[in-house]
Amino acid sequence: MTAAFTAIAPLAQVTGADLCVPLADGSTRTYANFDYAASAPALTQVVERIDQLLHTYSSVHRGAGYASKVSTDNYENAREIVGRFVGATDEHVVVFTRNTTDSLNLLAGCVPGSVVVLDIEHHANLLPWKGSRIVRAAGTIEETIRRLVVELCARPAGLLAITGASNVTGEVLPIARIADIAHRCGARILVDAAQLAPHRAIDIGAWGVDYLAFSGHKLYAPFGAGVLVGRRDWLDCADPYLSGGGAVRNVTVTNTQWALSPARHEAGTPNILGAGALAAACETIESLGFEYIAEHERALCEQLVAGLRTVPGLEVLSLWSDCEDSVGIVTFTVDGFEPREIATYLSDVHGIGVRDGRFCAHPLLDRLGHADGAVRASIGLGTGCADVERLVGAVRTLVPESALA
């Protein structure tokens, strides 16, 4: 480890930082969590807020009692906080969902035209769009954008649905530029921000993004809430995502008058704690400052990639040679080792948690030449340079010492 890396401490306190896990030899070790991209641990501020919310926890929107009124205020306040966090404007409405997958399925029921997607997307941003037009991403962002333009110009599309940051390589797309292109071609744009929201400031107003989806559990907020933020017109023209109480203005036995969004798509008792946790996470992350968050993970990723590259036969996966930014995700393979073998070894022998497999992005892994999968190490606010050093050291012990430089 070089001197530059010695000072990188975790940026925030998260749950599970002192978790001790069993190793195969019967001993225990403090867990090193490198699986933030799947689900991030909760920020301690989020846990504290949940505790507070539980004091007045009650039904929302319908009760006249004090606790119900406070819970309703908390829930609606959470909606405002989340909207501000992503730069929503008066044209956008914030709908609470279960997660990104839920948000995208909701929107799929609202889009009036065809949907254009890249072939690199997470399944959540591939499968909900029925009859989508799939564009093959190129080896550079420039050429990928050119291909999108060709497809969008070839015949009108209702929506371009695109990821903000790849869940496999962490690479970030220039969303404001792509939004502008989509609009010029007459399409709206949806950004799957599941991986972007925990890592980079988002401003859908300034970027011209029409719809944005992300998940609380990747944003240090457990309890299962997600969000779809988007323009009201399509949402209000579509059938409600779920039919039931709360989504209506008036019901007779022969007729139903549906409410406008967000209530229209939030039938049933909502996830009050999930929404509150998500809002608390947004506030905490904002107070940390995205410039520090980006710098923290840039330094850790640099350390991680530099360390991993010393391992013979190790390949770090990437999509675009001209990509200028990526979030805290490093996915790799090591010649001669199955991804599951590496992940199991890291867990059983070193107490390190990574993810292996195809990351719900089978077409992408196929085209990267790794149809059998890879290993993904992802970092976040609770990661420090000592964790990275431990992971690099553990991966180095995989290969025979004679092969190491």
Residues that bind ligand PMP (CB under 6 A): 99-101, 122, 124-125, 163, 167, 192, 194-195, 215, 217, 360
Q: How is the beta sheet containing 211-215 ordered, strand by strand? A: 92-97, 226-231, 211-215, 188-192, 159-163, 115-118, 133-135
211, β-bridge pairs: 190, 230
Nearer to ligand PMP, 166 or 303 (CB): 166
Kindly state the smallest distance separating residue 214's Cβ from ligand PMP, in Å. Answer: 8
Q: How far is the CB of 359 from ligand PMP (least distance, A)?
A: 7
**Minimal distance in Å, beta carbon 283 to ligand PMP?**
21
How many angstroms separate the CA atoms of 178 and 59, rounded? 41
Query: Residue 326: CB partners within 8 Å, gap ≥ 6?
Result: 165, 169, 170, 171, 172, 301
Task: Write down how long the chain is.
Answer: 405
Q: Which is nearer to ligand PMP, 217 or 396 (CB)?
A: 217
- Residue 376: helix, strand or coil by DSSP? strand
User: How many whole angstroms separate alpha carbon 28 and alpha carbon 9?
Assistant: 23
Based on CB atoms, which residue is closest to ligand PMP, 194 or 342? 194
In angstroms, what CA-CA distances link 401 with 228, 325, 390, 396? Answer: 50, 34, 17, 8
Q: Which of 282, 301, 360, 385 is catalytic?
A: 360
**Which residue reads 């719900």 in tokens?**
360
Least distance CB 366 / ligand PMP (angstroms): 17
| Separation of alpha carbons 58 and 68, rounded Å | 5
Q: Which is nearer to ligand PMP, 192 or 258 (CB)?
A: 192
> Cβ of residue 333: shortest distance to ligand PMP, in angstroms?
19
Smaller CB distance to ligand PMP: residue 259 or 323? 323
Closer residue to ligand PMP, CB minimum distance, 92 or 358: 358
Give, in degrees to the nearest 5, the angle at Cα 240 between 236 and 242.
Answer: 155
Backbone Cα Rg of the chain? 22
As to burial, measured by CB atoms within 10 angstroms (0-12 exposed, 13-18 middle, 19+ buried), residue 161 is buried
For 231, residues 6+ apart whose C-beta sits below 8 A from its C-beta are 91, 92, 93, 188, 210, 211
Q: Work out how close the CB of 364 gets to ligand PMP at its nearest, in angstroms, rounded to a whole number.
A: 10
Burial bucket for residue 259 (CB in 10 Å: 0-12, 13-18, 19+): middle
Active site residue 237: no
Given the complex with ligand PMP, which of 192 and 387 has the nearer CB atom? 192
Whether residue 377 contacts residue 51, with contact meaning beta carbons closer than 8 Å, is answered with: no
Smallest gap from Cβ 397 to ligand PMP, in A, equals: 29
Q: Any idea which residues carry the catalytic annotation?
A: 360
